[in-house]
Structures are given as structure tokens and as C-alpha cells.
Amino acid sequence: MKKLYKFLLNNLPRPLLIRLSYPFKKVAPLLYKGNNVECPVCERSFSKFLSYGADIVHRDNVLCPYDLTLERHRLMWLYLKDESNFFTANKLDVLHIAPEQCFHALFKKQSNLNYLTGDLVSPIADMHFDLHNIPLEDNRFDVVFCNHVMEHVDDAIRCMSELYRVMRPGGWGIMQVPQDHNREITLEDPTITSPEDREKYYWQKDHVRLFGQDYPKWLEKAGFRVTVFDKESKYDQKKIERFRLQKEEILYIVHKD
């Protein structure tokens, strides 16, 4: 049963995985009962998390078997809970691009959010559109989320600029991407086109670039001011390990002044 569960999570297309994941939640707590790791999103503990990722970036003990959070989801949640007004502000207009399933239902239930989701194909999105041309008015949203999207799009700066356009002055957002912290400059080569080469160089078959240490400069080029959430100064190593956060991950917060 566990082997089948892992195979489905790593091989099914994302839209189908979203539909099939709901019954998995009923058996996951039984399969991975324990108290070695903890997911702060679903607030459940397990003997371990599942492994996840393509061979070149495969990680053990990272995927929550209940709500399917990865390291990046848990880090974002901790920032929202401990460092932002996301749960406490009186009213926030929120745009969530490519909404993660682990967040979608929780955010929908929040009475303080006017919550709108968008994606090209996701079955849980409210609207379907191309991120290069967002069909929404300027200066509309207080908060914008768009995670693990910019490595897929043709023109990342154009998409970032569109998100900047629809964000209100004074607004903020989170735009996570896969990032190679050993690479100074983002790798973007139009001759890398085959699925095999894209997985080799960009870490996934449907990626078109691999961001490096210069990722904040891309965000700044689109107009954003960028700050960093330093998890090491906020949480001790014991908690970082219990939540299974990725040690090298940097959470960039974007702002529109």
C-alpha cells in the first residue's frame, strides 16, 4: 500500500493527483502513525514523511502523507502564521495563482479573505487564464501568491510584471521557485528542449529555466522590492528538522511600494 501511494504521488499528473488525493487522507494517518515529524499546516504528526521528486533532486522524508505539503509549503505557512497579518487582518483581497491543494480549502474558509484563484488548467482554480496576460484590473490585490510557476512560463519577467500590476501599492506576496543556490546566474538556454535534458539541467521535464542566486534581481526587474524571511533566526534547528524544512531554502517576500 505504501509503495503504491508513493508511486501515485510521484507519477500522476497534478490535476489527476488533486482529484485522487482526497481518499488518500483517510488512510495516510494509519500508514504513517508516529511522532517523529510534524506538519504545521494539517497539525498532524507522523513516523516520517514520504519521499518526493525526480531522480536528480529526489528527497527523502519531505512530503506530508495527509495534506501533501512539501518543505516549501510548510515554510510559507509558518511565515504567514508567525510573521504576517494574513490570518489577522480585517479584510484582504488575495490572488492565488496555481493554488496549492494544501492551502486552497483552508484559505477559502477564512472569513477575512476575498480569495480568488487562477491557473491555466487546475480543476480547483476559480479562473483559467494565461499568466502573461492576467484578465484583471490594476492595483486590486493586497496579497499575491504564485509558487513554482515562473520556472514553467515562457517570459518570467512578463508574468512577474503582471502580478506586480494587479497588486495594490502597499501589497505583498510570495513567489517561490526551485532555486539552485550553488548557481550564481539563472540557467536559461533555448537549446535545452527535450524532456530528458530539461530534467537534467532544470530538475524537471516541464521546466524551462533553473533560477540561481540572482532570482531576487528578476523580481526587482519586474518592479518589486524584495525582503527575506530568515527561518534560522526564527526557529531552532530542532524545530526546522521536525518540520522537515529545506535548510538551504530562502523565502523571498515581494512588496509593491
Q: Provide the CA 223 distance to its chain's centre, in angstroms.
A: 21
pLDDT at 1: 46
Domains in the chain and their CATH numbers? 2-69 (no CATH), 72-255 (3.40.50.150)
C-alpha cell at 178: 526551485
On the question of pLDDT at 4 being above 90, the answer is no
For residues 9-27, average pLDDT: 60
Question: Is the whole-model pTM more than 0.75?
Answer: yes
- To the nearest whole percent, how much of the chain has pLDDT over 90? 81
For the sheet with 127-128, list strands across it: 127-128, 113-119, 92-97, 141-146, 167-174, 251-255, 225-229
Kindly report, residue by residue over 127-138, the tens digit of the pLDDT: 999 999 999 999
> Which comes out higher in pLDDT, residue 54 or 12?
54
Report how far apart, in Å, the C-alpha atoms of 49 and of each of 31, 33, 64, 245 are.
Answer: 11, 10, 5, 12
Kindly report, residue by residue over 159-195, the tens digit of the pLDDT: 999 999 999 999 999 999 999 999 999 999 999 999 9
On the question of pLDDT at 145 being above 90, the answer is yes
On the question of pLDDT at 22 being above 70, the answer is no
Helix axes 101-109, 71-83, angle to 10 degrees: 30
3-state per-residue secondary structure call for 180-242: CCCCCCCECCCCCCCHHHHHHHHCCCCCCCEECCCHHHHHHHCCCEEEEECHHHHCCHHHHHH
On the question of pLDDT at 21 being above 80, the answer is no
Backbone angles phi, psi at 168, to 5 degrees: -75, 150
On the question of pLDDT at 11 being above 70, the answer is no
C-alpha cell at 147: 509558487
Mean pLDDT score across all residues of the chain: 92
What count of Cα atoms within 13 Å lies in the side-chain half-sphere of residue 233?
6
On the question of pLDDT at 52 being above 80, the answer is yes
Residue type, 201: Y
- To the nearest whole percent, how much of the chain has pLDDT over 70? 90
C-alpha cell at 224: 518589486
